[in-house]
Structure 1
Amino acid sequence: MPHAYDDQNIFAKILRGEIPNDTVIETEHTLAFRDIGPQAPVHVLVIPKGPYVSYDHFAAEASEAEIVDFARVSARVIAEAGIGLGEGGQGYRVISNAGSHGTQEVPHYHLHVVGGRALGRMLAAPQ
């Protein structure tokens, strides 16, 4: 997927306040909100406020402040949900899909934080 950013994607609209969300944490550079179709008891999306398409785009072009803030908000989401190992939780999964092979649905970089139950294997072995 090229790094051309589509400012009409649903997350861009959420960031502009055109579509409501269930905010968990919001900072200068990052927004974390509950997924509208949760796949586990905890399913929070963490997105940078900048126009990044994928993890590699974000990691290569975001400022240090954006990257640090994103990482710290992700850690807060895990801690506040009580799923982190340091919080006595049983664990969690973080997922970022990119491009067609990664089944990315929204062309804005986002991290899924999923937990609250046993999640099973991440991928099935090829057949």
Structure 2
Amino acid sequence: MSAKVLVVDDEVNQGRALALGLRLEGFEVTTALDAEAALASLLVSPADIAIVDLMLPGINGIELARRLTRLYPKMRVVLTSAYHLSERQLLRADCGVVGFVPKPYRLDELAEFLRAKLASSPESARQFRRASGN
């Protein structure tokens, strides 16, 4: 059984490209363009891990991460952005993410990072980790 990933990105082409790449890596992927669509999608199709863009319209990625980790404590949440965020900034945001992946990212490294987070226990996955980005 493949892991279920929710990709939340308001840039349609980036979200589609990531979804396609993750499907080729063996993940089952659902996409959403904003926080409201992501929350609605999870009611229909739960996910094991969510990749959330930081700069979403309306509810931003950090607030969405907070909501997701509160509503779905077993789901892991990873933030992504072209803007650099330090580990300290994310820890201060107290949004429950398991990592940050800077854009642009390499799909193979991202897939490996997601698999590692999914293989760890929910408690240990909550320890912040930054994926390497190129």
| TM-score, structure 1 as length reference | 0.33
> Which structure is higher in RCO with an 8 Å CA cutoff and minimum separation 6?
1
Q: Higher helix proportion, which one?
A: 2
